[in-house]
Structures are given as structure tokens and as C-alpha cells.
Structure 1
Amino acid sequence: MAARGKHRRPRTRPLTRGIVAVGTGTVALALPLLSATTASAAAPAAAPAAAQAVAQVKSVTYTAVKGDTLYGIADKYDTPGGWRQLYKDNRKAVGDDPRLIHQGLKLTVRTTKTTSAPAKKPAQSVTKTTQATQASVKTYANNLDGWIRQAMDIMAQKGIPGSYDGIYRNIMRESSGNPNAINNWDSNAAAGTPSKGLLQTIDPTFQAYHVAGTSFDPYDPVANIAAACNYAAARYGSIDNVFGAY
């Protein structure tokens, strides 16, 4: 996306925040009214006790891998206070730039775990539910193939077009598959907005076409792909229609 910045006009930066919320639900129980004159009326059956959610905060040690961001880690562990609290807790280890998370870095991560006291259910039913939940969770490899496939799944949910081949072709031209690539020499860099990441987006473009549910870090590979494809869809109809600098 390094074509002399023609399409990268500054846009108003949206104020966006990643927020992690933990809430408790209140269950209202409706009981049948007994007539004051009917002393012999049968007492209503006792309603089953509702499950009571209890939020617990604990700390775990996390070892950063390639492509990690503070936002992504905080979101994964449901950290109270989000990435800012995570950065605050690990300021000494991370350093002055929260965007630079080195592979192998040890981080102390606060995590919120919700436990429940569920109503009595047959053990077999609970086991089947757990298995179904685990089967529905999709995982992706932490490499270029995994980043593209994860971005495509998010794009499909948002109605953003783009094929694997179209995304891969443009990534290899723009960054050779390096999620930390940055262009410090073209007209965009001279204007103070260098192109970044797999598909070389500049900050104004990334912010304007950021896709909800992805990181706000332009170097995050999945977020970078999704935002670039969102931009390409708006300008060219699809990333598949891009064969050069865009």
C-alpha cells in the first residue's frame, strides 16, 4: 500500500477503546399470588436456585510469541483494565514503547475467571455441553497462513470480500510476509505517516478502515490484513482487484 500516499488522506481518528466487562445477572423469580381468604391453598413449588457467578482475578505468567500485542494478550486473558493495565504491570519489562513486544518476553497477566454454582444437571449432559463448546472454538497457526485464514473468517462475518490468493499475492509484494515491515523512505514516510505491517497501511488508513473485533495495533497481522482488505473493498471492490501499489 505504498503508492505515494494518494489514497492515504488523513481522516478523523475515531476514539476507540478496547473494553473488557465482567457483569453479574439478577434473576427475578415470579411467585403465584395466594388469596388472603384461601388459607388451604397449596404452597408454590420452590424455584431452583440460580447459578451465582463469582469473578476471580488471578495472575499468570505469559511468554510472548511472534506477532503478539498487549491488546491481543489482554483480550485473550480478559484482563481487567485492558492492555493499559497490562502495560502498567509490565512497564519495566516492556520498556517505553508498548507496541514493541519481543518474542520470549515474560509478562505478568491479570486474568478474570468466572466460576459458577450451576443448578444440578446430569453429569452426561454437562460433559456433552463442554465437548460441544470446545469443538466450536477454532484455532489458527501463528504464521502467515494462519493470519490470513483468521482475517478471512473475520472478514466473512463483516461482509468484506477477499480471497486467500488475492491477500497472499498483495502481502508478498508489499512486505514479503513480514508483519513488522515499515517503509521509511517514500512520500508517506516523508509526510510522517510511514506504511506499516503485512499490507503496508498508513495509520490514517488503518484507523479509518479498522475492523471491529481486531487489534488496534497496525502491526498486528490479522488487524492489518482486515483493515487493508476493508479499504481495498471500498476503493477497488476487493483486494483481489489489486495488482500493484494501492
Structure 2
Amino acid sequence: MFSSRTPGLSRLNKTQKASMAGVAAAGVVAVTFSLVPGTAVAAESQAPVQSPVTSTVSTSATDNGKAPAVSAIIAKQFNSPDTAAKVQSVVQKTASEKTKAEDKAVAKAKADAKKRAEEAANRSTVRKPVYKNNLDGWIKESLAIMKKHKIPGSYEGLHRNIIRESSGNPKAINLWDINARNGIPSKGLLQVIPPTFKAYHVKGTPFDIYDPVANIVAAANYAADRYGSMDNVNSAY
């Protein structure tokens, strides 16, 4: 039968074994010293280099969004609390300025909206016209009230009868005709007797027979009821 052992190597004496062990040990040490530096350099070259300014800084990380984490992150990057404090101050100042700008914009928008609403309200408000305190003004104001209450009559019809009855004197009073003899004299611009004024007084005007507008409107109301309009009156009525 043939042996599987290599000739001359089938048996090793003690001296040969010791020599081989020494060579192996020396080789391991050599390999170790040759690999470690290279590995260290490779690992170091592959390690990520962190930038001094980190993108992970956030003003909303902790502490209700006031960025207290900024100083901790920057201090860790630079190993400098002073630098962290400066960066944190800049971040907080920027956030504060942004908040103020937003608040200012909101306040301006509200003010503009309020102003537009007030302007719209003013445009839609019907302003009460101002009438002159004279015969022309009294007639014009009376016509406006008559229109509201659907009492017929024109400027010409009112003016013509006023001039004939009182010459435009709102305090005029007749003390000689039949009405006066009966104790109810005619009074005012259109010479209305008190019972007629009371019966045809128009709500919203003064209950004063000598008030020029109240007198005109009451007389026009009476004339409309009896004659169709003051325009149809051309003499004592």
C-alpha cells in the first residue's frame, strides 16, 4: 500500500517543530504590524467629516420651539460654548424678527379690512338731507315727507297757496274770519284751524301748528282728502 504522507515530512523532530513555530509567530507579528496601520488609515479616511455648520439645527426640536437645542448642537460641533451662544442668539433674533414681521402683516391686513368695511358702510348710509330754514327749504322738506306718505302735491301748488294764505309767515293767524269768531282761528303758513291740524297731522312731524313743515304737510293731507291735491286749491279751502 502507498502512504499519503510526503516523503521526508512524515515525522518532525522537536527542533524542527520549534523552528516552524518561531517562523509562524514572527509571520503573525509581521502581518499584524503591517495591517493595523493600513486599516486605521482606511477607517479614518472613510469616516464622514462633519461640517462646522450643521443642517440638523432646528428651532422646533425642544423647549416649545425656542431652539434651546441649538447651543448644545453647536457646542458639540465646535467644543465652544461661546460659539454656540452666538449662533443661538442669531437664530433667536432671526425667529423674533420673522414673528414680528408676520404679526405686523396680520395687523395691517385687519386694519385694511376694517377700513374697507367702514368705507362701504359710509357709502351705503343714506344721509338725511339738510334743508334751509326758509320758505324754499320748508316746502322741499314737506314734499319729501309727503312723498314718503304718498300725499300728492307739487312745489308750485304749495308755494302758490302759502303766498295767498300767509305771505310766507309761519306765525300768521287770522283773527277776523268765521273761524276766528268761532274761537278756532286759522294759523300758520297754510292757515289751518286746530281741529283740522289735529285730524290730518302726519306722524314724524312736530305736533305744533306753527311749525312750518308740520303745518304744510297737514294742510296738504287735508287738501288731498278733500280736493285730491293742494294743486287743485285756488282759493280759501
TM-score w.r.t. length of structure 2: 0.51
CA deviation digits over 1:170-201, x for unaligned, max 9? 00000000000011111111111110000000
- Taking the aligned partners of 1:161 and 1:130, their CA distance within structure 2 comes to 32
Corresponding residue SS for 1:244: coil
Distance in 1 (CA, whole Å) between partners of 2:193 and 2:128 is 32
Among 150, 155, 168, the residue aligned to 2:159: 168
Structure 2 residue 150 is the aligned partner of structure 1 residue 159? yes
- Partners of 2:171 and 2:123 in 1: how far apart? 37
Match of 1:202 in 2: 193
Whole-angstrom CA distance in 2 between matches of 1:137 and 1:216: 21
Structure 1, unpaired ranges of 5+: 1-119
Aligned mate of 1:130, from 118, 122, 126: 122
The equivalences for 1:35-46 within 5 A come to none
Residue type of the partner of 1:224?
N
How far residue 139 of structure 1 moved from its aligned partner, in angstroms, is 1.2
Question: Which SS does the other structure have where 1:200 is aligned?
Answer: coil
2:192 is paired with a residue of what secondary structure?
coil
1:77-116 maps to which residues of 2 (within 5 A)?
none
Distance in 2 of aligned mates of 1:241 and 1:127? 46
Kindly provide the amino acid, as one letter, of the partner of residue 226 in structure 1: V
**2:204 counterpart of 1:213:** yes
Q: Kindly report structure 1 stretches of 4+ aligned residues shifted beyond 3 Å.
A: none
Root-mean-square deviation (CA, aligned residues, Å) is: 1.7
* Paired residue type of 1:195: S
Which amino acid counterpart does residue 157 of structure 2 have in structure 1?
G
Provide, for residues 150-188 of structure 1, a one-character-per-residue CA deviation record: whole Å limited to 9, x for no partner: 001100111110010000000000000000001111111
Look up the SS of the partner of 1:173 in the other structure.
helix
Counterparts of 2:208 and 2:128 in 1: how far apart (Å)?
24
Greater fraction strand: 1
- Give secondary structure in 2 for the equivalent of 1:169: helix
Larger radius of gyration: 2
Secondary structure at the aligned position of 1:195 is classed as coil
- Alpha-carbon separation, structure 2, partners of 1:154 and 1:183: 27
Tell me by how many angstroms 1:131 deviates.
Answer: 4.5
Cα distance in 2 between the residues matched to 1:240 and 1:124: 47
Corresponding residue number in structure 1 for 2:216: 225
* Paired letter, 2:114: P
**What is the TM-score of this pair, normalised by structure 1?**
0.49
Distance in 2 (alpha carbons) for counterparts of 1:220 and 1:232: 18
Distance across 1 between alignment mates of 2:203 and 2:173: 23
C-alpha distance in 2 between matches for 1:126 and 1:230: 40
Aligned to 1:146: 137
